[in-house]
Structure 1
Amino acid sequence: MKIFLVGGAVRDRLLGRPVSDHDWLVVGATPEAMVARGYLPVGRDFPVFLHPETREEYALARTERKSAPGYRGFTVHAAPDVTLEQDLARRDLTVNAIALPAELVNADGSFDPTSDTLADPFHGQRDLRDKVLRHVTDAFREDPVRILRVARFAARFHDFGVAPQTMALMREMVAAGEVDALVPERVWQELSRGLAETRPSRMFEVLRDCGALAVLLPEVDRLWGVPQRAEHHPEVDTGVHLMMVLDTAARLQASLPVRFACLMHDLGKGTTPADVLPRHTGHEKRSVELLQQVCERWRVPVDIRELAEVVAREHGHIHGSGSLDAAELVRLLERCDAFRKPARFAEALLACECDARGRLGFEDTAYPQRPRLLAVLAIAAAVPTDVVARAAQQAGATGPKIGEAIHQARVEAVAAAAASPG
């Protein structure tokens, strides 16, 4: 039995990047032998075991043969006669098909990156040096999830390019309908990971280049070529603007929900002719409708979906909030459910700031709407609603009338603060 460190841990160590997880490959062993050594079997689709002490995953060397459409359509063969090179050959990219004998790995998981004992039959080290994402073998075409993985890696290693042969293969897979067989859970898993990377725009550039974006997110794909004009901003392509907004969110280290909201906020501009008009274009309602379709299709988590809906519906009003009076400001806060969910409202404001700064020449422009609206929320939220409610009840108010009294008290508080000197 021979054990190797494989995959991302080797790749990232060679790149000088932090390593958090270690994947181990076992060659020449049987499941029975692993259990006899105290390893705990956990693999459902193929033999994977947890180390009895470290709880890290150890997978038996295996080969895979395509037996049905989609990413689940594989017949797995794991046996002692499967060689290291055979296992590496089934992996997606050459940079992920490098292995190192376990005995050369230090206790903390580090190793000498110059070691000449690295197993690299598909020249992954060369592609790391040349900054190329290249498929290992033609077996790449058998798993459509790999298209999403390549796009995600492009977002992480944003100075890497996709090899022309790999891009051509991905286009063939899209044309053959392989992407249509992807299940929602895997699509969302890869999209969310890509959104969380340092340059999320690269993921969508790669997906668009191979044609997969038009299949997975046609609502986003059709934004390219749609002009967008906003007050005091030059006219730009909406798709290009969207990518700048995403990268601004990454630069500001925004959370995944904020980044998803940035991606979804302008979907209606792909279907609304009035988009060429300044500011309020009427596309917000359509954006929310399209967003809901996307979230249903890919089973986006509820909290992420709800923030995206607030941003899609209200970003125009938030951008223009400087001209709103006290009553309009409080109604905006109420529509955003800011009193019950202030943290979510703060994230909505951050998404709007990313939208405003996601244009050439405006990357470092201040966005006063964000601190101003947070201050307005603090003032309105400080109103003692229990006192107001009791006074309204004593005056004979019931039901909605009590809510109206609280609303009016908040409006008066915001108006008084605005009128106060300094």
Structure 2
Amino acid sequence: MNEQVLQKLKVLAESAKYDVSCASSGTVRRNSKGGVGNTVGGWGICHSFAEDGRCISLLKIMLTNYCIYDCAYCINRISNDIPRATLSVSELVDLTMEFYRRNYIEGLFLSSGVVRNPDYTMERLVRVAKDLREVHRFNGYIHLKSIPGASEELVRQAGLYADRLSVNLEIPTEENLKRLAPEKDHQSVYLPMKYIQQGVLESNEERKKYRKAPRFAPAGQSTQMIVGATSETDRDILRVSSSLYERPTMKRVYYSGYISVNTYDKRLPALKQPPLVRENRLYQADWLLRFYEFKVDELVDDRTPDLDLEIDPKLAWALRHPEFFPVNIQTADYESLLRVPGIGVRSAKLIVTSRRFSRVGFYELKKMGAVMKKAKYFITCNELPDKTILELGPTQVRKLLLPHPAKKKDDLQLSFDFGDSFTTHEKP
């Protein structure tokens, strides 16, 4: 690796850091004779972290950060005066193989700015994946970012070499997307999503008949939406997510708190910091939609179109519906147990299984992983000393469960605990 390639790597890795949809799970690709590496089964292949806390087990890079589009929210927009770089297909392939052999990475996450046109860019991304698989016999994880507007033929080729494909929706509504990115529309995003879905489903059917039939994007697809750059409510965002999850191949929707990188553009809000708490609440709500059998309108509605930033969405729902509680741990069905704050999927399954043999009490619930600090106000079982939400009321329970702000102390004031014989004095 020469100095010029390393300089390109620095520029393109920096440009790629704003894309959070770099999933690294959902498929198994075993090594073969003469091949290099493998993709392990399980959820995630993380082993190192960047300074900002993000996992970097994948080489997360762009093929080029030149772009013909002028999207208001993007650092790589054509009107920005930033360092630009482009890696050739061979340079990127060699870089990936060198990093893999040195055990720096376990896979590749590759995206790109759009140069010339979507098909030209997509063709180069496909060539990178094809060379890794066929020339270098690379069996590690590959996640390709499909270019909006790319042709069906190129998307189909990409799916034969990549483990996961993704197309970023970016802005939830067409109206706001047109306002911030006039060259784009939702149709150019939903069409590649459709091509990926068709490819995965056809591949699954083919493999039922022929065991050695080629796999198509075995880890499915994902997408990303920016949170806070436009006026959409959490309800608008979650409705889009819910409709996307109805597609059988959509594995994850990622939410990226808007980072104010183009402060000069008056179409964008002037945020001092990204809405990270809101982003976290959306991920929690997303989890409830996928695994806890909640519906969007249960979490957000006309009266409360945005999620509560102080408490998690499941607890917020429980406080708005005290009539549903307390839930009897000994008799409640699995679906009702999932609605209890502090009880997760694993705990609910263990409760249903365990109570066939003995009664479940406070101690047993803690051993099963239930967060009793929350759950005790919403259940009835043996040995529960505290009152439930029926006696205390939603307002009091909320007050008890809200995190208490830490008391501010004077750093210059020392305080020691000498037991009962001495007392210490702190500033009021």
TM-score strictly above 0.5? no
The structure whose residues are more often helix, as a share, is 1
Q: Which structure is richer in relative contact order (CA contacts within 8 A, separation 6 or more)?
A: 2
Q: Which has the larger radius of gyration?
A: 1
Question: TM-score with structure 1 length normalisation?
Answer: 0.31
Question: TM-score with structure 2 length normalisation?
Answer: 0.31
